[in-house]
Amino acid sequence: MDVDEIVEGILSGNKRALARAITFVENDYPEGKEILKRIFPKTGNAHIIGITGFPGVGKSTIVSKLTQEFRARGKTVGIVAIDPGSPFTGGALLGDRLRMDGLDSSKKLWIDPGVFFRSMSSRGRAGGLAAKTGDAVRLMDAFGFDIILVETVGAGQSEVDVIEVADTSIVALMPEMGDDIQINKAGILEIGDIYVVNKADLGGADKTERWIKAMLMMDQEAVEILTKTTHAQEYEIQTGKIFDKIPRAGWSPPVIKTVADKGKGIAELADAIEKHFDYLKTSGKLLETRKQRLSREMVEILVQEIKNYLKETDKMNFREIVEKVSKNDLDPHTAVEKIMKSILKDY
């Protein structure tokens, strides 16, 4: 398939064209860039949802059940599932697709015409997101999916990249996850628009829910309110219901308990997702955050292009300059200033 056929295919609902385009962008083929240029005007309609969380919390199951739920609500769903690759061999065993039906073999998501599932390996890039996930999401957006779910690697500390791609970020946890401080450090509590406590049938789910709500509220306003509570509000503090009463500006991330493999809590999760999207649209935040993401993305592309330029052309005699600096003939800052002067003229 050539670029024209692929672009036409994407815009007319041809799944194979979409699949081929994703391969191109994932592998940095020049055709990929061309295709992205041409489909970009058609992007911006999909609701992009990122799901992140530690390994074992049940992300795949949540994605699978959410897909079923959204399909039942008449929406089409594209999914990008990122699994870690091996840093040693570069190979990967991408196991999210096979978890897509969950435990019920009567579900037919694989052949549902309103569903597209793509597995990607994270290729060792820290942050958990495959290098080209954003581009794959764009392609799916242009294709016309209403919802795009991005499921990221449960690799631990660096889950935060999901916010670079998603309008709505969901952080999935489960009860008794061990060291609460670890979770705090991971920055996960700063990025979620919605929090999910999955496997909520295990003991400790309520405690985890309360703890998340407390952490989310750890700011001056909340502390003030908490110190002013009376004895009569003991119950509300104990159950965490107090936090629902604290008036917040903007969006208050809800904490939703689910037992994903039994389908429990999924409808509520889908409701929360839709609610968030409405909030983003009516408050103007959707455009604002998309702008910010685009700006960051463009800076990254810019930096990458400069890096490539440096490596490939050596017009600035970069290697020679590094030699000089290593011999103490020049200091790094002066060297860079020199290069910057030449770039801004020469690019």
Partner 1 sequence: MERMEKKIRVLVAKVGLDGHDRGAKVVARFLRDAGFEVIYTGLHRTPQEVAMAAVQEDVDVVGISLHSGAHMTLVPKVLNFIREYGGDPDELVVLVGGIVPEDEFDDLKALGVDGIFIPGTPISEIVDFIKEIVPKKKGLKAKS
Partner 2 sequence: MDIDEVRKKKEEWDKKCLKPFLERSGERQEKFENLSWIEINRVYDPSSTEHLSFIDDIGYPGEYPFTRGVYPTMYRGRLWTMRQFSGFGAAEDTNQRWKLLLKEGQTGLSTAFDFPTLMGLDSDDPLSDGEVGKVGVAIDTLKDFQILFDGIPLDRVSTSFTINPPAAIILAMYTAIGDTQGVPRNQLRGTIQNDMLKEFHAQNTLVLPPEPSVKIITDIFEWGVENVPKFNLISISGYHIREAGSTAVQELAFTIADGMAYVEAAIERGIDIDKLAPQLSFFFNSHNDFFEEIAKFRAARRMWAKIMRDEYGAKNPRSWWLKFHTQTAGCSLTAQQPLNNVVRTTIQAMAAVLGGTQSLHTNSFDEAWALPSEGAVRVALRTQQIIAYESGIPNTIDPLGGSYYVEWLTDKVEKLAWDYIERIRKMGEGSMLRGVFAGIENGFFVKEITNAAARFQREVEEGKRTIVGVNRFTIEEELKIPILKVDLEVQRRQIERLRKVKAERDNVAVKEALDWLRSAAENDENVMEPILEAVKAYASVGEIMGVLKSVYGTYKKPIII
Judged by the rule CB under 8 A, the positions of this chain that interact with partner 2 are: 93, 95, 98-99, 101-106
* Residue selected from 207, 281, 291, 311 as contacting partner 1 according to rule CB under 8 A: 311
CB of 150 closer than 8 Å to CB of 67? no
Residue 308 touches partner 1, criterion: CB under 8 A = yes
Give the residue from 3, 1, 2 showing the smallest Cα distance to 34.
3
d(CA 181, CA 186) in angstroms, rounded, equals 9
What length does the chain have? 347
> CA of 39: how far to CAs of 91, 141, 152, in Å?
30, 9, 24
Q: Point out which span in 14-22, 50-58, 252-260, 321-329 binds partner 1 (CB under 8 A).
A: 14-22
Residue labelled with tokens 């390996």: 121
The type of residue at 231 is H
Instruction: List the interface residues with partner 1, window 180-209 (CB under 8 A).
Output: none
* Residue 90 binding partner per list partner 1, partner 2, none, with a CB distance cut-off of 5 to 8 Å that depends on partner kind: partner 1
d(CA 133, CA 297) in angstroms, rounded, equals 12
Residue 14 touches partner 1, criterion: CB under 8 A = yes
Q: What is the nearest approach in angstroms of partner 2 to the Cβ of residue 172?
A: 17
Q: What is the nearest approach in angstroms of partner 2 to the Cβ of residue 95?
A: 6
Q: What is the nearest approach in angstroms of partner 2 to the Cβ of residue 208?
A: 20
The sign of the CA dihedral 307, 313, 315, 317 is: positive
* Residue selected from 11, 94, 155, 267 as contacting partner 1 according to rule CB under 8 A: 94
**HSE value, Cβ hemisphere, 13 Å, CA-based, for 9:** 16
CB of 195 closer than 8 Å to CB of 256? yes
* Residue 121 binding partner per list partner 2, partner 1, none, with a CB distance cut-off of 5 to 8 Å that depends on partner kind: partner 1
Q: What is the nearest approach in angstroms of partner 2 to the Cβ of residue 306?
A: 41
Using CB under 8 A as the criterion, which residues of the chain lie in contact with partner 1 when the complex forms? 14-17, 19-20, 22-23, 27-30, 85-86, 89-95, 97-98, 105, 108, 110-111, 116-119, 121, 123, 131, 308, 311-312
